[in-house]
């Protein structure tokens, strides 16, 4: 079992005719993802890797029956692409970085009345190793197993997964939720899914400075989550008021600092990893 996606998930790629969309579509196909078509306005009727290209998501839904969408479109058009996909699909993964916050505010309100699950934006996507991937993550580092991974950082996700695989700990599902101020799925949303997933026996969570997502996760874990959780917080030396990497990674006044997040996570009984270089070894030692 995995969360959100599996080997039967049928995927449409928005922006499939662009360079990034085309490149990552090929990699997803090589991994075994069931790509059933693409969407690029004005290019309907074309083909990419033998897959049909449609002008709209609605057309793709009616002719190719996808379950999910992955988005590779420029920031100025990404919010509209998300809402277009959400009108007909239950899962939308948005890779695009740099979407204006006001655009995402519109998306947030639009999704409030819908059951669509949004992952991202500004994220690496989601992968259930050995089954399917909707994202840009390097496939070879993943190994099927029982460790769930959820992270605000793409590159740190890769580091964590690589370490887990090297010590023989496979992953059930890995989700990059994104580092923007307004995103779809939160830590709590993904943790709730891992809680109900029989395959997932433990979770690694990678947070960073900015916002209160990690504190919210700590409260949820303490109250409702009974599986082992390991966490790392990036940005412990970041100065106040300076954005570090992600648009949401900024300490504002007394809010969003690493120390408060670490304190909250420790209080919830979470295994904190101080040195990311030892995360894989730490998880293996504790679980064994």
User: Which residues are identified as catalytic?
Assistant: 246
CA–CA distance, 254 with 176 (Å, rounded to integer):
26
Q: Are 104 and 182 in contact (CB under 8 A)?
A: yes
Q: Are 160 and 207 in contact (CB under 8 A)?
A: no
- Cα–Cα distance list, 170 to 6, 130, 142, 199, 201 (Å): 16, 10, 7, 11, 11
CA angle 129, 176, 216 (to 5 degrees): 125
Q: Residue 38 forms beta bridges with which residues?
A: 13, 53
- Residue 166: phi and psi, rounded to 5, are -65, -30
- Residue 148: phi and psi, rounded to 5, are -85, 140
Structure tokens of 276?
A: 């990311």
């Amino acid at each position: 079992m995995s969360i959100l996606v599996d080997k039967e998930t049928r995927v449409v790629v928005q922006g499939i005719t662009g360079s990034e969309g085309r490149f990552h579509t090929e990699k997803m196909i090589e991994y075994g993802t069931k790509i059933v078509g693409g969407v690029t306005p004005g290019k309907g009727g074309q083909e990419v890797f033998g897959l049909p290209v449609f002008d709209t998501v609605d057309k793709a839904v009616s002719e190719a029956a996808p379950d999910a969408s992955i988005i590779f479109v420029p920031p100025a058009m990404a919010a509209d692409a998300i809402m277009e996909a959400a009108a007909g699909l239950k899962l939308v993964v948005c890779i695009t970085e740099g979407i204006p916050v006001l655009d995402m505010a519109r998306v947030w309100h639009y999704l409030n009345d819908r059951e669509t699950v949004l992952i991202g934006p500004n994220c690496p996507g989601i992968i259930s190793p050995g089954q399917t991937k909707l994202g840009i993550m390097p496939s070879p580092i993943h190994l099927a197993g029982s460790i769930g991974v959820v992270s605000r950082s793409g590159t740190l996700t890769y580091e964590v997964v690589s370490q887990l695989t090297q010590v023989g700990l496979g992953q059930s599902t890995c989700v990059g939720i994104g580092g923007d101020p307004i995103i779809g799925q939160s830590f709590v949303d993904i943790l709730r899914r891992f809680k109900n997933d029989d395959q997932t026996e433990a979770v690694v969570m990678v947070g960073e400075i900015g916002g209160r997502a990690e504190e919210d996760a700590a409260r949820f874990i303490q109250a409702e989550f009974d599986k082992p959780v390991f966490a790392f917080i990036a940005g412990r030396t970041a100065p106040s008021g300076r954005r570090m990497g992600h648009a949401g990674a900024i300490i504002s006044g007394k809010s969003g600092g690493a120390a408060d997040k670490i304190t909250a996570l420790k209080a919830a009984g979470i295994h904190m990893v101080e040195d990311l270089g030892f995360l894989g070894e730490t998880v293996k030692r504790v679980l064994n």
